Structure 1
Amino acid sequence: MRIGLIANRAHQDAANSALVQLFTRARLALQALDIEWVVVGRTLDAIHSHGLQTICTPYIRFPYGRDGGLMKLVAHVVNRDPDNSVDAVIYLIDPVDHSSIFPEALALKRQCVIHKKPYLSTLAGACEWLELEATAVGARHASLSEDFGFDLGGESIALIAHDALKQNMLQIAEKHFALLDQFAHRYATGTTGALLNQLAQKIKGEAAGRAWAQPFLSGPMGGDAQIAELVLDKKIRRILFLEDPHVARQHEADIQLLERAARTVTDFALVVSDADGADRWLRLLTQRNASVQSVV
């Protein structure tokens, strides 16, 4: 497995920075995975300054961002040559760092969605993904504590899908209904919420399924902003937002607002943005929780 890694400056320097927490929180998961890191310049400098190079090894060094390192990472997302590609990207984004809206930064996420590769822009998202991938290779430990949000009965999830992907959302929800039903609350933007409740009525019965997902306004009318507030208040940890990267989106600012909210509480919230990634994520979350319960 080859993972691209970059962190904005605010997530690099301090002893308790998100970059340091990534390698300390997910240490056991990292030990279970065979990872080659592709690290953009200054992020690798920070890894060495914190003495983390023995954990982040082996690695390939890319140039500094100003010298095209992030652009090269985008090229390796789309490259089909296994010797010159990455399987996932961890980009720890500081929401007030302007470099995160540079064209290469925006292209990095878009190409990850198009090429169905995990794009992990928060500390919480990266740590959970690493833990779940460790579960996939047979690791039976729980490197992240239960207060990280694995007791789903006390957790909430947001379910959002663009028009062309609403059927994908329904397929995912039906396939993983048992897991999603464990969450204390499910929130959705307008039409997606109505469709999910119709699905829940078919599965659970009309009365039990009628309010299975709480619908907010549609995305263009402000539903993303309503959900973003709950994320900032740490009432929603996980966001499944199926994005269509091939169409112009008039409410792009609202979409970015929701992602920015997750990045503002980077150690708490996470966003999954593509259908294939969501399917694997929910399957491994089910597997991970079943593994922990069997040990208990």
Structure 2
Amino acid sequence: MSILRLGLAANRLHHHNESAALFRWLRACESGIRELQLGLHAIGRTHDAIAAAGMLAGYPGLKRYPYGREGGLMKLVAEVVGLDGPERTLDGAIYLIDPVDPSSIFPEAIALKRQCVINGKPFISTVASARDWIEMERIHAGLAPDRGANRLHNLETQTLALIAHDAMKPQMLAFAAEHFDVLSRFAHRVATGTTGQRLNEMAWSRGWPQDLLWAERYQSGPMGGDAQIADRVLEHRCQRVIFFEDPHVARQHEADIQLLERAVTTVTDEAVCITSPVVAARWAAAVRKRAGV
């Protein structure tokens, strides 16, 4: 089992007391972190909060980086891209975001997500996503399912949102076709405009009843579809978002995209968001393995 390394940061709201999001995640996943021997490269204040709480005590995989104001988050961005050898290359990042914290829209915060997306690495911004990722990697490592993660795998009670920008639509269709069995387990699927239409056509070609929509269609992204799905997320009526973004193109509806992302981080314990086709495929494979399929 190769050792994975993730950058780790949390806005102040998420580590300011013992019930904060960072500690909820660590309490749920500390055993999994140790089983995986996961490297956690934490920026200063996040590392200090973990140490003060007495969590991950004596764990050699927890590394301290400078404070954010001293360039800690910038260093994580560079190491997601990759520097000199594996010791200075991160496999992704966990950044627990408070959507009203000004630092969440600092250039280095935006660049961290962008470079994760460009490099096909996980960018994990909610407690639910971090919990889900640990379980995914545990399953791929051959470890027994964690019953504490069963809620995340109860797909038959959940709604899934599938969103893809124009350049990413072929990858979304390919992903949905390859993992049609897994995605069809969800109680409900929603999608924005053109993506939804193409997904329905794919489903009908696979034998889905012609008189039923496989994915409920919302408006296109530029016409407000992202905002419509954000409302479902905020009302706890959408539990998982798979959003294949094109990081290379300026988008007129950037504010709507950010609105959806902020909605996901607002309900941090409830919503899982996957932004990379590589990570999405790995998640679907873990779902099958966990279910013994």
Normalising TM by the smaller chain, what interval? over 0.9
Per the alignment, do residues 235 and 128 of structure 1 end up closer, same or farther by CA in structure 2, a change over 3 Å counting? same
Are 1:22 and 2:44 counterparts? no
Alpha-carbon contact 1:131-1:144 (below 8 Å) kept:
no
CA distance in structure 1 between the partners assigned to 2:290 and 2:44 by the alignment: 34
Superposed CA offset, 1:36-84 (max 9, x none): 2211000011001110032753222110001110011101111152121
Which SS does the other structure have where 1:204 is aligned?
A: coil
Offset of 1:149 from its aligned partner? 3.1
Aligned partner of 2:244 in structure 1 is 242
Are 1:75 and 2:78 counterparts? yes
Scaled by the length of structure 1, the TM-score of the pair is: 0.94
Aligned partner of 1:114 in structure 2 is 118
Structure 2 counterpart of 1:222, from 221, 224, 227:
224
CA distance in structure 2 between the partners assigned to 1:36 and 1:168 by the alignment: 30
Are 1:139 and 2:119 counterparts? no
Which SS does the other structure have where 1:73 is aligned?
A: helix
Aligned partner of 1:31 in structure 2 is 34
Deviates more, 1:165-174 or 1:56-65: 56-65
Unmatched 5+ stretches in structure 2 = none
Counterparts of 1:1-296 in structure 2, within 5 Å, are 1-54=4-57, 56-80=59-83, 81-146=85-150, 148-207=151-210, 210-290=212-292
Matched to 2:99, the amino acid is: P
Per the alignment, do residues 36 and 255 of structure 1 end up closer, same or farther by CA in structure 2, a change over 3 Å counting? same
Which SS does the other structure have where 2:148 is aligned?
A: coil
CA distance in structure 2 between the partners assigned to 1:263 and 1:188 by the alignment: 19
Scaled by the length of structure 2, the TM-score of the pair is: 0.95
Unmatched 5+ stretches in structure 1 = 292-296
Per the alignment, do residues 193 and 139 of structure 1 end up closer, same or farther by CA in structure 2, a change over 3 Å counting? same
Deviates more, 1:122-131 or 1:77-86: 77-86
Superposed CA offset, 1:171-199 (max 9, x none): 00000000111100000000000000000
Deviates more, 1:131-140 or 1:26-35: 26-35
Superposed CA offset, 1:108-159 (max 9, x none): 000000111110000000010011101100111315243x232111111000
Which SS does the other structure have where 1:240 is aligned?
A: strand
Per the alignment, do residues 65 and 143 of structure 1 end up closer, same or farther by CA in structure 2, a change over 3 Å counting? farther
CA distance in structure 2 between the partners assigned to 1:42 and 1:236 by the alignment: 32
Alpha-carbon contact 1:25-1:143 (below 8 Å) kept:
no
Which SS does the other structure have where 2:160 is aligned?
A: strand
CA distance in structure 1 between the partners assigned to 2:121 and 2:72 by the alignment: 19
State the superposition RMSD in angstroms: 1.4
Alpha-carbon contact 1:136-1:284 (below 8 Å) kept:
yes
Which SS does the other structure have where 2:98 is aligned?
A: coil
Alpha-carbon contact 2:9-2:42 (below 8 Å) kept:
yes
Alpha-carbon contact 1:124-1:270 (below 8 Å) kept:
yes
Aligned partner of 1:294 in structure 2 is none
What is the total number of aligned residue pairs between the two structures?
289
Offset of 1:17 from its aligned partner? 0.7
Matched to 1:119, the amino acid is: F
Alpha-carbon contact 1:240-1:278 (below 8 Å) kept:
yes
| 4+ runs deviating over 6 angstroms | none
CA distance in structure 2 between the partners assigned to 1:56 and 1:250 by the alignment: 45
Identity of aligned residues (%): 48
